[in-house]
Each structure stands twice: as structure tokens, then as C-alpha cells.
């Protein structure tokens, strides 16, 4: 149960991270390319999504394409994180993805100070050793053990803070 809760929370955080790309990255229009129509570089970046690509709706495809276009500008650590997140997202069931999106919407509606509290608690939990995080999670349904930062730290990179850039579907 605690593991399922951790997976759901991690999925929600992933949904937050992948919610929507900048407007410039999304093509307006109902059609998005099939897997066969993607460029070789986009296929390489989006490889974890290959099996499900053609079943994704056009809006989701466009969001993932936006990620693929920004991907080369990311540092190696951010690129690895994006790949891991894509793999984690694709392993979720459709119901888990829906729940993650709903949780993202509810977190996004929180007042800024509440979101800051969530961010601070997330950062504190990430400073704990993995064993302690697992213990807390299994005991109380506490913070997930996923290495993803909270939504407020998933926007544009900040060279001063080292905050990672967003990765969105």
C-alpha cells in the first residue's frame, strides 16, 4: 500500500513536471506526427515512448515533441532525469496517469505559501538517506523516494541555484 502511494505521489510529481510546455513548443492544430514521421533525433530522445506513441492523442504528442526539442540544451544530468521520468511515466497505468494529473491540478490550485510548504517538505525529505525515506514512507505514507524535485523547482534552469529545467509531456 505504501509503495503504491509512493508511486502515485511520484507520478503526480511527474505529471506536475510534465504538465505543459511553453506555448512556443506546442504546435496549434489537431494533428501530431506518427512515430514513423518523427526525426531520428526526436525518436532517440523519445525512445521510452515508442511503443505507445501512436496511441497518444495529438496534444500529448506535441508536448513530448516540445521536450525533445529542448532536450539537447539540457545538461547530462537533466537529460538522464528526463529519460528516467519518461520511463516512469510510460510504466504507469492510464488510471495512475489520470490520478497524477488530478493531483497536479490540486497542487497547482494551492495558494503560493502552501505550495512553498510542499516544496520545503519535499526538499527536506530528499535530504534524508534513502533508508530513512523508505522507512518514513512505509510507516506513514510519507514523502516518496523518487529523486524528482517539487513543481516549483521544475521550471526554467537557474544557473545560481542549479534548479533543473522543466520536462513536460
- 125-142 pLDDT per residue, tens: 878 888 887 777 676 544
Model pTM? 0.53
Return the closest-CA partner of residue 143 out of 6, 1, 2: 6
- Please give the residue that has the higher pLDDT: either 101 or 4: 101
Number of Cα atoms under 13 Å in the Cβ half of residue 83: 13
Using one digit for the tens of pLDDT, what is the confidence trace for 11-70? 555 555 555 454 444 445 557 899 999 999 999 999 999 999 999 889 989 999 999 999
- Please give the residue that has the higher pLDDT: either 16 or 159: 16
Residues ≥6 apart with Cβ < 8 Å to 139 = 2
pLDDT, average across residues 106-120: 86
Supply the mean pLDDT for the chain: 74
- Please give the residue that has the higher pLDDT: either 36 or 120: 36
Number of Cα atoms under 13 Å in the Cβ half of residue 109: 6
Across 66-82, b (16+ Cβ under 10 Å) vs e yields bbbbbbeebeeebeebb
Report the pLDDT value the prediction gives residue 127, as an integer from 0 to 100: 82
Report the pLDDT value the prediction gives residue 134, as an integer from 0 to 100: 76
What's the rounded Cα separation, in Å, for the pair 46 and 11?
18
Q: Strand, helix or coil at 117?
A: helix
46 φ/ψ angles, rounded to the nearest 5 degrees: -90, 15
Report the pLDDT value the prediction gives residue 9, as an integer from 0 to 100: 65
What's the rounded Cα separation, in Å, for the pair 70 and 109?
27
- Please give the residue that has the higher pLDDT: either 98 or 31: 98
Amino acid at each position: 500500500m505504501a509503495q503504491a502511494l509512493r508511486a502515485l505521489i511520484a507520478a503526480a510529481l511527474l505529471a506536475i513536471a510534465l504538465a505543459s510546455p511553453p506555448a512556443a513548443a506546442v504546435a496549434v492544430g489537431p494533428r501530431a506526427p506518427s512515430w514513423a514521421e518523427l526525426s531520428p533525433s526526436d525518436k532517440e530522445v523519445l525512445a521510452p515512448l515508442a511503443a505507445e506513441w501512436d496511441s497518444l492523442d495529438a496534444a500529448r504528442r506535441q508536448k513530448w515533441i516540445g521536450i525533445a526539442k529542448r532536450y539537447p540544451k539540457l545538461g547530462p544530468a537533466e537529460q538522464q532525469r528526463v529519460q528516467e521520468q519518461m520511463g516512469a511515466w510510460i510504466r504507469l497505468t492510464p488510471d495512475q496517469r489520470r490520478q497524477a494529473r488530478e493531483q497536479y491540478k490540486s497542487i497547482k490550485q494551492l495558494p503560493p505559501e502552501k505550495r512553498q510548504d510542499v516544496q520545503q517538505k519535499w526538499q527536506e525529505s530528499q535530504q534524508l538517506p534513502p533508508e530513512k525515506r523508505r522507512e518514513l514512507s512505509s510507516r506513514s505514507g510519507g514523502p516518496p523516494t523518487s529523486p524528482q524535485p517539487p513543481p516549483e523547482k521544475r521550471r526554467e534552469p537557474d544557473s545560481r541555484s542549479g534548479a533543473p529545467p522543466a520536462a513536460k509531456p
